[in-house]
Amino acid sequence: MSTTKQKVALITGITGQDGSYLAELLLEKGYMVHGVKRRASSFNTQRIDHIYQDQHQNHVDFKLHYGDLTDSTNIIRIIQEVQPDEIYNLGAMSHVKVSFDSPEYVANVDGIGTLRILEAVRILGMEKKTRIYQASTSELYGGLAENKNAAGFYDENSPFYPRSPYGVAKIYGFWITKNYREAYNIYACNGILFNHESPRRGETFVTRKITMATAAIALGQQDCLYLGNLNSQRDWGHAKDYVEAMWRILQQEVAEDYVIATGVTTYIRDFVRYSFAEVGIELAFAGENENETATVVACKHPEYQLPIGTVVVRVDPQYYRPTEVDLLIGDPTKSKKLGWVPQYDLAGLVKEMVASDLELLKRAR
């Protein structure tokens, strides 16, 4: 009989894109997984419904708790009850553009929320027991060209220059995590993750907005996709790969911070091109800034036919940000120490997202 104790994990943000993939991964690894979900007026557990377990059955290894990162007492109580070996703090108001509309809220959740987790562990005297993963972000770098390393990437030593209330809140989360590691010897790490996407990506982030519109336009359910800045560049990976990096970060002997990225960057415009290519539609881009459009120049798929010359993408400046992060590209060198080998490239990611959105729309029909 095995005497190995089942590991216990607590995930904030379990109803989000990353939380759902991480919960699946940890369940596969035999963890008891606890998640914090917010009370909402309608169901917000679509991404985790498939792993939900009836709490009346004999053995349960997945449990949800109502909670909120703005509520210290709630966080302390959940951590005390759950006694986690590992906490993954993924909960956040994660939309950069929306953070300009709710700057104080994002500071409270994404910044002070991180402190609440760290303090709870300290108040409960769990510094030696509990390891903490903090969801830090490439938004900390702000995309300033002069801050890239000599090879042209952002790495663990590149200076930060956040360009949104979200980035500024997350920089507090980054430093308070590092400070608690140094001050109290807590095993607490930052994963500085570059953009990662999937079929479960929120519908208002640019990749999912594009793949959903690609499917809807191909099926004749939408005429045109309106986007903001097509000139920014992002280093996009797959969320399924990135949650594995999170887990690996907490399995090391020494707590450290890691950049998780692909090392490849792509224009938003090119993501649009690749997405439409998945349904056989070839686009030509013309014009600049708010006058830029994308027009159909060929339809190569028998099922998805649009008249040549149809404009399917236009720019709407309402999606511009007051300050933009122009270019992100991460240096994944240090992450190789984790033994982390991503399974997806951008082509595989786009293919999976478009196929999933086509399937969703066809099923809804």
Residues designated catalytic: 137, 139, 166
Q: What is the arrangement of strands in the sheet containing 258-260, beginning at the earlier edge strand?
A: 62-66, 32-37, 8-12, 86-89, 131-137, 188-193, 258-260
Task: Please tell me the distance from the alpha carbon of residue 74 to that of residue 78, in angstroms, as a whole number.
Answer: 6
- Sign for the CA dihedral angle at 182, 185, 186, 191 comes to positive
Tell me whether residue 62 or residue 258 sits nearer to ligand GDR (CB atom). 258
Q: How far is the CB of 61 from ligand NDP (least distance, A)?
A: 20
Task: Please tell me the distance from the alpha carbon of residue 296 to that of residue 50, in angstroms, as a whole number.
Answer: 38
Q: Are 304 and 218 in contact (CB under 8 A)?
A: yes
Task: Please tell me the distance from the alpha carbon of residue 225 to that of residue 272, in angstroms, as a whole number.
Answer: 10
Tell me whether residue 90 or residue 358 sits nearer to ligand NDP (CB atom). 90
Among 9, 10, 16, 82, binds ligand NDP (CB under 6 A): 16
Using rule CB under 6 A, residue 204 touches ligand GDR = yes
Among 138, 158, 198, 214, binds ligand GDR (CB under 6 A): 138
Task: Please tell me the distance from the alpha carbon of residue 309 to that of residue 311, in angstroms, as a whole number.
Answer: 6
Structural element, H or E, at residue 118: helix 113-123
User: What is the amino acid identity at position 267?
Assistant: Y
Q: How far is the CB of 94 from ligand NDP (least distance, A)?
A: 4
- Cβ neighbors of 201 (< 8 A, separation 6 or more) are 17, 207, 208, 239, 353
Using rule CB under 6 A, residue 94 touches ligand NDP = yes
Tell me whether residue 99 or residue 130 sits nearer to ligand GDR (CB atom). 99
Cα Dmax for the chain: 69
Using rule CB under 6 A, residue 243 touches ligand NDP = no
Polymer length of the chain? 365
Using rule CB under 6 A, residue 228 touches ligand GDR = yes
Using rule CB under 6 A, residue 289 touches ligand GDR = no
Among 8, 9, 10, 15, binds ligand NDP (CB under 6 A): 15
- Cβ neighbors of 83 (< 8 A, separation 6 or more) are 8, 126, 129
Using rule CB under 6 A, residue 240 touches ligand GDR = no
Using rule CB under 6 A, residue 321 touches ligand GDR = yes
Q: Which of ligand NDP, ligand GDR, none binds 209 (CB below 5-8 Å, type-dependent)?
A: ligand GDR
Near ligand NDP in 22-61, by CB under 6 A: 36, 38, 40, 44
Tell me whether residue 137 or residue 198 sits nearer to ligand GDR (CB atom). 137
Q: Which of ligand GDR, ligand NDP, none binds 70 (CB below 5-8 Å, type-dependent)?
A: ligand NDP
Using rule CB under 6 A, residue 205 touches ligand GDR = yes
Q: Are 302 and 312 in contact (CB under 8 A)?
A: no
Query: Which CA distances in Å does 223 have to 254, 307, 312?
Result: 53, 12, 6
Tell me whether residue 32 or residue 349 sits nearer to ligand GDR (CB atom). 349
Q: From 144-152, 154-162, 203-211, 329-337, give the range in contact with ligand GDR by CB under 6 A.
A: 203-211
Residues that bind ligand GDR (CB under 6 A): 94, 96-97, 137-139, 194-195, 204-206, 209, 227-229, 232, 234, 268, 319, 321, 324
Where along the sequence are the contacts to ligand NDP (CB under 6 A)? 12-13, 15-19, 36, 38, 40, 44, 68-70, 90-94, 109, 135, 137, 193, 195-196, 202
